[in-house]
Structure 1
Amino acid sequence: MQAMPDFFTIKTIAKIIALPPTGLILFTLLGLCLIPRFPRAGRGIAFIATILLLILSSPFASYQLIKLLDTFPPLDLKETRLARAIIIPGAGIDRNMLEYGDATLGQLTLERVRYGAKIARITGLPILVSGGSIQEGEQEATLMKAALEEEFGIKVRWSENQSRNTHENAMFSASILQKEGIRHVILVTHSYHMARAKTDFSSAGFSVVPAPTQILNQDPTWPSSFIPGISGLQTSYYVCYELLAKLFMKIIPFP
């Protein structure tokens, strides 16, 4: 008998379908399919979905959206005096990369690792990397540890390789660090992800000093910021994912 897909597989599929651009493309196709029987409704659905896709693809719209989440200032080193560790949660890997021989860090994870290495050099604090694998293959934490040690020259003290989402990043990191009496930590993640991540890590018992990376720091310019493009769509995707995840947490809170 074929095994049923687990929760995280279903979640991944649902995320692909619900978020832009796939979700809006599907609504456009639905509208087009409805036109023969329901012309006005079909055209309306297709038109609205197309317009929303164009709006979300513009850097101006994505900038306005990300301001909803990007509320943390840059790290203030004065606030790190009580911290005893740096935690870097993963954000995905790229698989089957020929030039690396197999998997390597995805762009978002690499951005976090790079900033975490900078903070480690400044503060001298030890690092915990956190991230497992939803699919078979290399775990995020293993690749993050290798990158930090081999490419950035920063030793990793702890490696948590079982977590599959931000909530588990926090819980499994707590099970490692709190055994050593460590509760004050610097948390490195993207600015738009920090609010949700800080909530999860605080709930796990940590006192968190936020260290956001990729902080919003540029006002939209005319006319390039109003022209739809892949950069705007990608940013809108990240924001929509965070907003959907926060809504999901309120509907189905973790124990």
Structure 2
Amino acid sequence: MFFTLSKIVWFLLSPVNLMILLAALAAVLAFTRFARPARWLGALALLGLLLLAFSPLPRIVVRPLENRFPQQEAAKGPVTGIVVLGGAIGVARGDVVMNYAAARMTKAVELARLHPGAKVVFTGGGANLLSPVIKTEADGAKLLFEGLGLPPERLVLEDKSRNTRENAIFTRALVTPKPGERWLLVTSASHMPRAMGVFRKAGFPVEAFPVDYLSADEPADFIRPYRKASRGLDISDDAFKEWVGLVAYYAAGYTDALFPAP
């Protein structure tokens, strides 16, 4: 129920979707007796889209999320296992496809080579609400990892989870971590606070290994505009989704802290 509701609510509350829906409503109202307020509503929607697409606002919103858990030295060891969260990979036409979060996958391979005794655990099924899952993210991870030279016996693939909470619960049951072991959690830096909160709640002690940064952690983050609207809109959605997700997961009892910290 939570999975389905979260997909529907986020479709409506996504900043980009919301601005477009408001613009569409303004266009409809423009042909009614509400034409005057419709102009204001349309102007508001256009201003919102411009801010999300070209202003520094997306970086400003994402910075606190990405700064919450510091970067680690990749070679620091020993490491029992590397847990990689889905959200970056899939399969199309029998081949691997990756999105802008591909650093999750490439960093996992780098860590695996630095720590040859560590297991590589990928967790991700399918999160599509409207169509059946034919090839899971785990299928894509298997193709990629083996294609890059990781032996199959090092891989642990979890292919049932649909969200971060299920990532944590299903993976813990699969690998049964023991006291004294060191497990690294690899995911996008903006997603790390929510992911760490969920894994802690699930009783799986992991160390944060954030990747895929969307801000530079420099003063320019507050003034540099985006050159492509699509990039700004993507980051806006990702950043606001994480803030909303933190509140929703805390309210649902999936994490013990509203903004998990190291």
**TM > 0.5 fold call:** yes
Residue identity in the other structure for 2:50:
L
Q: Are the aligned partners of 2:182 and 2:206 in contact in 1 as well (CA < 8 Å)?
A: yes
Matched, 1:64 2:63: no
Q: Could you tell me how far 1:234 is from its partner in structure 2?
A: 1.0
Residue identity in the other structure for 2:230:
I
Show the counterpart of 1:90: 86
Show the counterpart of 2:184: 186
Show the counterpart of 2:259: none
| Structure 2 portions without partners, runs of 5+ | 256-262
Output one character per residue of 1:132-188: Cα deviation in whole Å (capped at 9) or x when no partner. Answer: 1243211111210221111x2123431111100010000001001216668531000
Instruction: Name the SS of the counterpart of 1:86 in structure 2.
Output: strand
In structure 1, how many angstroms separate the alpha carbons of the residues matched to 2:164 and 2:246? Answer: 11
Show the counterpart of 1:248: 248
Output one character per residue of 1:115-141: Cα deviation in whole Å (capped at 9) or x when no partner. Answer: 111111112221111111243211111
In structure 2, how many angstroms separate the alpha carbons of the residues matched to 1:210 and 1:235? Answer: 21
TM-score, with structure 2 as normaliser? 0.81
| Structure 1 portions without partners, runs of 5+ | 1-5
Residue identity in the other structure for 1:194:
M
TM-score, with structure 1 as normaliser? 0.83
Q: How many residues align?
A: 244
Q: Could you tell me how far 1:221 is from its partner in structure 2?
A: 7.7
Show the counterpart of 1:54: 50
Instruction: Name the SS of the counterpart of 1:192 in structure 2.
Output: coil
Q: Are the aligned partners of 1:59 and 1:227 in contact in 2 as well (CA < 8 Å)?
A: no
Q: Are the aligned partners of 2:82 and 2:121 in contact in 1 as well (CA < 8 Å)?
A: yes
Deviates more, 1:120-129 or 1:244-253: 244-253
CA distance change for structure 1 residues 170 and 226 in 2, over 3 Å: closer, same or farther?
A: closer
Query: Quick one: percent identity of the two aligned structures?
Result: 24
Show the counterpart of 1:232: 232
Show the counterpart of 1:20: 15
In structure 2, how many angstroms separate the alpha carbons of the residues matched to 1:221 and 1:90? Answer: 27
Instruction: Name the SS of the counterpart of 1:225 in structure 2.
Output: coil
Q: Are the aligned partners of 1:91 and 1:109 in contact in 2 as well (CA < 8 Å)?
A: yes
Aligned 1:75-224 pairs, distance under 5 A: 75-77=72-74, 80-81=77-78, 83-94=79-90, 97=92, 101-102=93-94, 104-108=96-100, 110-124=102-116, 125-134=118-127, 135-150=132-147, 152-155=148-151, 156-178=154-176, 184-215=182-213, 216-217=215-216, 219=218, 220=220
CA distance change for structure 1 residues 169 and 248 in 2, over 3 Å: closer, same or farther?
A: same
